[in-house]
């Protein structure tokens, strides 16, 4: 662990390097490094500096509005917020979903994860993986990939479009639809829509397999590099089905420690706070969740594709399960801890989504017309879902007038907060220590952050370049070095 | 069957005059012109290149902050620019992506409708509402014109587009 790099003993004597903005996800992110005179790293922090306050905005709103309102949190995975909030509202209206409603929600969710994973892998991550972290910045983008690897880019575009089509058909719109409502869904699928989706699904499965092959090949060509880049050990947390299977829509919470030992299993998420506590630190607006029984020092964990594939006992679709076994063998039967393994796990999940979509499309329940149910009213609701980036918690309390009086959201990027800090520290120590600042070296930090697919990476990896402004200050507060990378990706000193 | 003409409007309906494109699509939907597919989204992205596959013509519709009122109608050419992001691209960049992915794009045009105020939560401004009426009249003429050669007569000289 490199906790000693979180707070330097004498920051006043150190040079300050600021990477800002790292992103614009729900706002601004930045990285700060404190270096000594020989450019050795003494402190490394990854900050999300924007105050969002969404929990406050929705206080006083009627509960039934919430599944639609919360989608505005994010233009990248609005479906996850729609579903997380709707699951919480199911509890408030006392609903047990009909098979039609649950399967339509699952279909919507698989489409969402498929398109999000495709976006991240092909648009954001593949330029680094295919061209190299130090490659020409002008081609580190999806159009650069299209020029050099047109077939790969075509597949990425088609996979994302297919996922969006599922979202559109199940929720009404590609972005900010209204599919999931308290107690169910507001539309089913027509025969024509089902046929249209079935027409292309085998191709989507085939391309998803190609994507797993591609990332496995890239990873295994230089296993030492990929395993060692931003390496650290942590616990993992995710939902699993009752039988231990990977389940992106519903289940109990499972956490394993860094030695692959169960911390808790099949935890009823409606009492998540029994196990997960959120710590506040003065230098970031983002909270630092940790597992209570392990304490704040040791209880932090990772979520997302790597956590899910490591944590589950099996994946309930055959092709993805075969790939999970290969992944597991690569790790010698233990959880894989490497930061860059997120990409590999993400593509295994994309394949699972494609297979899952095919299974659902053959299920006649999708055409049913019992869409909404309700039961005994409750004043509290908790909804948890495995969003593309990891476990997403929506927790609400309402009053007798059915207005929201309290809300708490723990989004995937928040769960990964400490882990992303850890990755930045590892990379800074290994690649920046004693080096002059170059665009390629800065991109190493971005690559580590990007592997988590935090919401912020979406905006910042634009064109293969996060817009960066880096300043090197001496102990007297004088700027001694400065580098800018503009929105066009050009660098200047 | 893929409609020969795609009209693709983009903009955020919650940001004042940025709603011009989506509003025009709503009006066209009500008129239901034949052989036209109408699509709308918040922003242009790479995958919208795939929406252009199999078309004879493509028309992008967007609110413009700089053209002369009421609108500017121009022919687009594919171009590499600095707009490649995961969030938003220019129409020329989408055409360039199409070229990289699928070959030469179909004849494509941009109708930029002059907007004046783009604040979050604001309604359409009075000036933009007037521009919208003019733009709708042009769109109806374009939908009734049989070919891209016929469309070229509506193209405006550069000085009118600022």
Please spell the DSSP secondary structure of B67-110, one letter per residue. SPSSEEEEE------TT--SS---HHHHHHHHHHHHSSPPPEEE
Interface test with A, best of B8, B79, B82, B84 (most A CBs within 10 A): B84
pLDDT in tens, A30-66: 788 888 888 888 888 887 655 556 777 788 999 998 8
CA distances from A278 to A139, A272, A285, B58 (A): 40, 11, 12, 50
Nearest Cβ partner for B96 among A143, A157, A463: A143
Average pLDDT of the segment spanning A352-375: 96
Return the CATH fold of B5-153: Rossmann fold (3.40.50)
Q: Which residues in chain B touch residue A462, judged by CB atoms under 8 angstroms apart?
A: 84-87
Average pLDDT of the segment spanning A460-484: 50
Nearest Cβ partner for B49 among A157, A164, A463: A157
pLDDT in tens, B125-151: 999 999 999 999 999 999 998 788 889
Residue-averaged pLDDT of chain B: 89
* Whole-number pLDDT of residue A22: 46
Nearest Cβ partner for A161 among B50, B82, B87: B50
Q: Which residues in chain B touch residue A158, judged by CB atoms under 8 angstroms apart?
A: 47, 50
Q: Which residues in chain B touch residue A459, judged by CB atoms under 8 angstroms apart?
A: 85-87
Q: Give, rounded to a whole angstrom, the gap between the first and last alpha carbons of chain B.
A: 38
* Whole-number pLDDT of residue A41: 82
Q: Which residues in chain A touch residue B98, judged by CB atoms under 8 angstroms apart?
A: none
Look at B101 and A160 and tell me if their CB atoms are within 8 Å.
Answer: no
Query: Tokens at residue B114, please?
Result: 């002059």
Counting one residue from A and one from B, how many pairs have CB atoms under 8 Å apart?
A: 60
Closest residue in chain B to residue A144, using alpha carbons only: B100
Average pLDDT of the segment spanning B28-37: 93
Look at A143 and B102 and tell me if their CB atoms are within 8 Å.
Answer: no
Nearest Cβ partner for A146 among B85, B86, B100: B100
Look at B41 and A174 and tell me if their CB atoms are within 8 Å.
Answer: yes
pLDDT at A13 exceeding the cut of 90: no
Average pLDDT of the segment spanning A151-177: 87
Q: In this structure, are strands A15-23 and A29-35 parallel, antiparallel, or unpaired?
A: antiparallel
Nearest Cβ partner for B86 among A124, A147, A150: A124
Round to whole Å and give the CA distance between A36 and A97.
Answer: 59
Percent of chain B with pLDDT over 90: 65
pTM: 0.85
Look at B87 and A175 and tell me if their CB atoms are within 8 Å.
Answer: no
Look at A157 and B93 and tell me if their CB atoms are within 8 Å.
Answer: no
ipTM of the complex: 0.76
Nearest Cβ partner for A142 among B42, B46, B82: B46
Round to whole Å and give the CA distance between A292 and A235.
Answer: 13
Closest residue in chain B to residue A173, using alpha carbons only: B41
Query: Tokens at residue A221, please?
Result: 């060509």
Strand, coil or helix: B9: strand
Look at A143 and B86 and tell me if their CB atoms are within 8 Å.
Answer: no
Q: Look at A128 and A395; give whichever has higher pLDDT.
A: A395
Nearest Cβ partner for A141 among B42, B84, B102: B84
Strand, coil or helix: B3: coil
Look at B97 and A489 and tell me if their CB atoms are within 8 Å.
Answer: no
Split at pLDDT 50, 70, 90, the class of B73 is: very high
pLDDT at B88 exceeding the cut of 90: no
Closest residue in chain A to residue B97, using alpha carbons only: A143
To the nearest whole Å, the CA of A206 is away from the closest chain B CA by: 19
To the nearest whole Å, the CA of A82 is away from the closest chain B CA by: 18
* Whole-number pLDDT of residue A439: 74
Round to whole Å and give the CA distance between A340 and A348.
Answer: 14
Look at B86 and A75 and tell me if their CB atoms are within 8 Å.
Answer: no
Interface test with B, best of A462, A464, A465, A489 (most B CBs within 10 A): A462
CA distances from B26 to A169, A382, A491, B52 (A): 19, 37, 43, 20
Residues with Cβ < 8 Å from B29, sequence gap 6 or more? B38
| Structural domain boundaries in chain B | 5-153
Split at pLDDT 50, 70, 90, the class of A445 is: confident
């Amino acid at each position: 662990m490199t906790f000693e790099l979180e707070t330097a003993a004498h920051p006043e004597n150190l040079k300050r390097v600021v990477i800002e903005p790292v992103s614009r996800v729900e706002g601004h992110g930045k990285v700060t490094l404190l270096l000594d005179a020989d450019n050795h790293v003494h402190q490394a922090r990854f900050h999300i500096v924007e105050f969002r306050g969404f929990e406050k905005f929705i206080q006083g709103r009627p509960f039934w509005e919430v599944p639609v309102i919360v989608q505005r949190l994010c233009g990248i995975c609005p479906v996850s917020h729609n579903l997380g909030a709707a699951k919480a509202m199911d509890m408030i209206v006392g609903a047990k979903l009909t098979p039609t409603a649950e399967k339509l929600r699952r279909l919507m969710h698989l489409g969402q994860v498929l398109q999000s994973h495709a976006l991240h892998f092909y648009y954001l991550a593949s330029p680094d993986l295919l061209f190299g972290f130090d490659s020409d910045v002008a081609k580190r983008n999806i159009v650069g990939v299209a020029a050099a690897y047109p077939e790969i880019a075509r597949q990425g575009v088609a996979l994302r479009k297919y996922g969006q089509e599922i979202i559109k058909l199940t929720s009404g719109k590609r972005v900010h639809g209204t599919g999931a409502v308290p107690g169910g869904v507001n539309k089913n699928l027509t025969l024509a829509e089902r046929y249209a989706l079935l027409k292309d699904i085998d191709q989507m499965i085939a391309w998803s397999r190609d994507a797993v092959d591609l990332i496995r090949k890239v990873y295994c060509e230089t296993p030492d590099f990929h395993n060692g880049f931003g390496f650290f050990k942590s616990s993992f947390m995710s939902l699993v089905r009752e039988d231990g299977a990977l389940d992106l829509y519903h289940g109990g919470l499972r956490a394993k420690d860094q030695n692959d030992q169960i911390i808790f299993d099949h935890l009823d998420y409606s009492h998540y706070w029994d196990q997960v506590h959120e710590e506040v630190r003065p230098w970031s607006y983002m909270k630092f969740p940790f597992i209570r029984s392990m304490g704040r020092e040791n209880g932090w964990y990772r979520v997302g594709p790597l956590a899910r594939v490591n944590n589950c006992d099996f994946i309930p679709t055959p092709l993805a399960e075969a790939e999970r076994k290969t992944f597991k063998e690569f790790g010698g039967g233990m959880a894989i801890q490497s930061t860059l393994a997120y990409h590999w796990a993400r593509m295994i999940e994309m394949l699972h989504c494609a297979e899952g979509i095919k299974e659902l499309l053959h299920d006649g329940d999708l055409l049913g017309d019992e869409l909404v149910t309700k039961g005994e009213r409750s004043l509290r609701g908790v909804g948890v879902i495995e969003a593309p980036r990891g476990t997403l918690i929506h927790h609400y309390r309402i009053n007798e007038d059915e207005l929201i009086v309290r809300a708490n959201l723990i989004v995937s990027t928040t769960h990964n907060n400490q882990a992303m800090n850890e990755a930045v520290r590892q990379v800074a120590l290994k690649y920046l220590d004693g080096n002059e600042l170059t665009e390629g070296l800065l991109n190493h930090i971005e690559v580590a952050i990007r592997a988590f697919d935090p919401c912020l990476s979406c905006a910042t990896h634009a064109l293969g370049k996060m817009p960066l402004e880096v300043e090197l200050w001496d102990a007297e507060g004088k700027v001694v070095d400065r580098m800018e990378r503009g929105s066009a990706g050009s660098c200047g000193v | 069957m893929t409609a020969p003409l795609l009209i693709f409007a983009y903009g955020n309906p919650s940001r004042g005059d940025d709603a011009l494109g989506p509003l025009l699509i709503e009006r066209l939907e009500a008129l239901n012109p034949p052989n036209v597919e109408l699509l709308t989204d918040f922003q242009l992205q790479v995958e919208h290149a795939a929406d252009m596959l199999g078309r004879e013509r493509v028309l992008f519709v967007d609110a413009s902050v700089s053209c002369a009122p009421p609108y500017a109608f121009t022919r687009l050419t594919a171009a590499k620019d600095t707009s490649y992001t995961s969030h938003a691209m220019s129409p020329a960049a989408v055409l360039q992506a199409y070229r990289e992915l699928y070959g030469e794009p179909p004849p494509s045009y941009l109708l930029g409708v002059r907007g004046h105020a783009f604040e979050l939560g604001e309604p359409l401004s009075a000036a933009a509402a007037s521009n919208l009426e003019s733009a709708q009249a042009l769109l109806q003429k374009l939908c009734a014109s049989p070919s891209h050669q016929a469309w070229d007569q509506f193209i405006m000289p550069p000085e009118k587009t600022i």
